[in-house]
Amino acid sequence: MQAAGPQMPAGPCSEPGTCRAREILERVGDKWSLQVIFHLRDGPLRFTALRRGIDGISQRMLTVTLRGLERDGIISRTMYPRHAASGRLRAHANGRHAAARGRRSHRVG
C-alpha cells in the first residue's frame, strides 16, 4: 500500500527541538513580540515610549511580552537608580535580526 501524497525528506527540522529557526519563530511570531522588537531596532526605549508606539497593546500584555523576550535573551532591560523606577529596553543583535527578517517577509506577503 502506498502512502497518500509525497513524502517530505528528512531534514534539520524534521525532529522536534532540532530547528533553531522554528524555535525563534515560535517565540517572536506572536502578535506583539515582533512589534516590540521592531520598535527597539534603532535603540533603547523606555517602557512608556514603547507602549505609546505600539497601537492597541495593553500595559499587561506589553509586560508579559517583554518578560518573555528578556527571558529568551532577545532584549535586555537596564534599570537606573533614581527616586522613581527608571529603565530602558534594548533589542539584542538576534532581536534586531528578527525584526529585519519580519519586515522583509511583511513586504513580500
Query: Closest by alpha carbon to 109, among 40, 26, 34?
Result: 34
30 grid coordinates: 506572536
Residue 26: the pLDDT is 76
Q: Are 41 and 99 in contact (CB under 8 A)?
A: yes
* Local structure of 70: helix, strand or coil: helix
Ordered per-residue pLDDT tens for the chain, 109 residues: 555 555 555 556 666 666 777 777 777 778 899 999 999 998 999 999 999 999 999 999 999 999 999 998 889 998 888 766 667 888 877 665 566 565 555 444 4
List the domains of the chain with CATH numbers: 20-108 (1.10.10.10)
Query: Which residues are CB-neighbours of 31 under 8 A, at least 6 positions away?
Result: none
Q: Are 51 and 64 in contact (CB under 8 A)?
A: no
Q: Are 75 and 98 in contact (CB under 8 A)?
A: no
Q: Is the pTM of this model over 0.75?
A: no
Residue 39: the pLDDT is 94
